[in-house]
Amino acid sequence: MASLDPKALVDIASSSTNPSFAVKTLLRASEIYISQLPTASSRRERSQNIKSILAQAECLKQWNYGLSKSEEIILLKGSLLSGCKVPPWNGKPSPEIIDQLVLSPDQINQIDHWVDGREIYGSNIWPDQMEIKQMLLSNCSFVASLIALSPLNAANLSSILLADKSSFTFKIYLNGTYRRLSITPNIPVSLDLTPLTVMSTHLGPILVEKAFHALRNSYDFQGSNSATDLFLLLGYIPEIVRLHSPEIDLDEIRLRGGVMTVGSNKYEEIGQHNFALTEFDQNTVRVVNPWGGSKLHEWTQLHRSFETLYISHDPVQFRHRYQKHFSGPQQFVVHPSHGEICVLLSQHISTWTDTWTAMDVFLGSTKIYDFKNPILKGHKLDSFYTFCRLKPFSGPRILVPVSPSSSNWTISLYSQESIYCEHVASPAFRCKEIALWKGTSKINSSTFITNQQYRITITSVSFVALVITSAKGLVRLDLLSSDERVDRLRSGDCLANSGNYQPSQAVILKVLDPGKYIVIPTCFESTEGGYEIQVESDSFIKLEKLAPYDAGKFKKSLATTNQQVHITVSRLTEIWIIVLSREFIGLQFLAENEEVIWEENISDGRLGLFSGKLRVEKGFYFLKRVGEDEWNIEIISDNRIEVG
């Protein structure tokens, strides 16, 4: 190991998932640098390297990032992006080397051929001071990122690159870990050898740009933002600040530091454009245009010219870190902290499709089902990641990812103080069912009876969470103490409900005694698509889908304006009478001798919906109504009957 280049040792340590090994490797790299000090041409540079390595080793001792087997599998699954293989970093070239990238028709017209960039720029890859300028590619945020990064730590860019005779391998950060991406040095140029790429005196920035575009396999790129760009390039923590928000404190932001750029939606005639921020003074900052040129601005007046501030934080500055890779929806409880905690949630992506991500924060330490009242409502970002800050707090907090995606995720917490974070445990027993909506099914509608209904069985006193989730529509849940299907909800029937109809999700949380209960999901308006109903409990629970109301039964239907309908029953049977009418307000079921067996009047605001279950013997019966309008009759029975 002593013969290795100390830079290579630092590379090996940063890619290791074993904290102990990483610390030992970093300390060995520092020892080699120290041994080289007497003969070093630049003692100052080597001293800075030693300080940086020791600081990184100290951080690693505090970080919690040992991987479970399931996490290793998740990271391996994240090794493909838009057809490009990006396996986890191991200090070696990727098995797939990317040569020429896709060009737009306009770009094709501007180039003549591809050439090895070393033939133009020579073998000296990195300049001491980067001087770059955006040219023909629509990547102002990327170029602004390099300009903003250069005065602070341009050496970070050189550390992400490994070179051999025919390719260059970059260490990028994607889908929860550092990964390797290998490219050839071939670049597109015009007939006079002018590159299509960023203008630079050295090849290094051009290769970084090619690797960045290789993630999309194309130079035809409509732009990103600097926070995202440096997240992918260096694993920097991305933070996006809306400059017009009344909640921001620019003085506090300046003290925190970081690599910063700004974005404008109204720059000259092109609209969106990004600028680098450099030369921070007491009250001013230099705003650098990637096309060339710069101007001093008052720090506190940036909002007059720009909408968004993009900040990228080097994770090495934090002494403590917690990171977890997980699948599907999960919640995390963060225990009390004396220091601020930065939280980064990122989806694992396989394509560059449009998506959004948010994260809400709640009080407590148990699983959240009802998401109405967060103490911090996350901003919905049109991105595969989101970021928030938790101020010092005395009670536990629940972090709840919010996204339409069900992909794999990584959650990372950073702080100067110790962090204690863990998965929120779900109740021991969980059941779920998936079904399709059948038109309008709200509780007072004529089609309520067609709703799918469910029976839950509980064997001991239990806390129960009932959750319905629907991609569309306003939904509601009702819970009844019963063990069989009901035809409608009568006053006093409901043991609990989720309240008014809610968009997408409704919840009932209740402690229930042993027994059987009916759960009824409904939607307010006609809704296409499906829904999922989930039941969780801290003791055994059984969820059953009940058969449709007419399953295995005989059914007779009739629409008429007559005042009464004759029914003939040939043997003892159970019948279920369902009647719908717009006008009449009363209904009677009579024996042949006109004895009233059952009757019902409208008194609860329903629009002429009648329903009754009867057990009747062989004989002749009449169904009589009070009213003038046409009525629709449906009779469900165990045995054949005649209706006329």
Query: Which active-site residues does the annotation give?
Result: 140, 273, 289
- CA–CA separation, 117 and 187 (whole Å): 6
- Strands (E) across 82-200 are located at 84-85, 97-98, 113-116, 132-133, 161-163, 168-174, 177-183, 186-189, 199-200
User: Which pair of tokens denotes residue 519?
Assistant: 């759960």
> HSE of 555 in the Cβ direction (CA atoms, 13 Å)?
10
Give the three-class secondary structure for 256. helix
- CA–CA separation, 159 and 12 (whole Å): 11
- DSSP string over 527-577: --SEEEEEEEESS-EEEEEPPPTTTTSEEEEEEE-SSEEEEEE-SSEEEEE
Contact 273, 288 (CB under 8 A): no
Helix, strand, coil % (nearest 5) of the chain? 20, 40, 40
Number of Cβ within a 10 Å radius of residue 15? 17
- CA–CA separation, 332 and 288 (whole Å): 40
Q: How many separate helices (H) and strands (E) can be counted in the chain?
A: 11, 41
**Of residues 17, 9, 49, the one with CA closest to residue 33:** 49
User: Which pair of tokens denotes residue 591?
Assistant: 């024996």
First-residue to last-residue Cα distance in the chain: 97
- Strands 332-334 vs 421-423: parallel, antiparallel or unpaired: antiparallel
- Strands (E) across 348-384 are located at 358-363
Q: What are the φ and ψ backbone dihedral angles of 151, each rounded to 5 degrees?
A: -65, -25
Contact 415, 351 (CB under 8 A): no
- Strands 541-545 vs 619-626: parallel, antiparallel or unpaired: unpaired
**Of residues 57, 62, 94, 242, the one with CA closest to residue 174:** 94
In order of 319, 408, 421, the CA distances from 415 in angstroms are 6, 24, 12
User: Which pair of tokens denotes residue 623?
Assistant: 């169904």
Contact 92, 163 (CB under 8 A): no
- Strands 177-183 vs 97-98: parallel, antiparallel or unpaired: parallel
- Strands (E) across 38-174 are located at 80-81, 84-85, 97-98, 113-116, 132-133, 161-163, 168-174
- CA–CA separation, 327 and 77 (whole Å): 11
User: Which pair of tokens denotes residue 518?
Assistant: 């009916």
The CA R_g of the chain, rounded to the nearest whole Å, is 34
Which residues lie below 8 Å from residue 178, measured CB to CB, with a gap of 6+? 14, 15, 88, 89, 171, 172, 235
Task: Provide the β-strand partners of residue 393.
Answer: 337
**Of residues 516, 484, 517, 494, the one with CA closest to residue 444:** 494
